[in-house]
């Protein structure tokens, strides 16, 4: 996964500047980001505090681990089913 140049704290800081009245175009130019990046950040982190963003990141990591475990279990089940069919 690609690593971001900006921390969650910096992202939330940029979004707070926008809430304070700065235009999106000015913020993008100032911080060297694209409009699409700014609006993606706004949809993901809009209205969050730094602690909320940390919790979100933790939940996303946990969710990824659980998805991986589920996929491995499903593969094991499929393998066992194939073995049962071949034995009969």
What does the alpha-carbon distance between residue 62 and residue 5 come to, in Å, rounded to a whole number?
23
pLDDT at 86 over 70: yes
Across residues 62-70, what is the average pLDDT?
A: 98
Across residues 57-83, what is the average pLDDT?
A: 95
* 3 domain-assigned: yes
What does the alpha-carbon distance between residue 88 and residue 84 come to, in Å, rounded to a whole number?
7
> Over the stretch 4-49, which tens digit does the pLDDT of each residue have?
789 989 999 999 999 999 999 999 999 999 999 999 999 988 888 8
> Over the stretch 52-61, which tens digit does the pLDDT of each residue have?
888 998 999 9
Give 56-88 as a DSSP string: HHHHHHHHHHHHHHHHHHHHHHHHHHHHHHHH-
Domains in the chain: how many in total?
1
Domain that holds residue 16: 1-48
* 13 domain-assigned: yes
* 41 domain-assigned: yes
């Amino acid at each position: 996964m690609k690593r971001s140049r900006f921390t969650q704290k910096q992202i939330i800081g940029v979004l707070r500047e926008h809430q304070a009245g700065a235009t999106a175009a000015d913020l993008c130019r100032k911080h060297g980001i694209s409009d699409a990046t700014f609006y993606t950040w706004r949809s993901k982190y809009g209205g969050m505090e730094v602690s909320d963003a940390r919790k979100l990141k933790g939940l996303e990591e946990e969710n990824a681990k659980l998805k991986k475990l589920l996929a491995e279990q499903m593969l094991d089940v499929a393998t066992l089913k194939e073995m049962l069919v071949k034995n009969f």
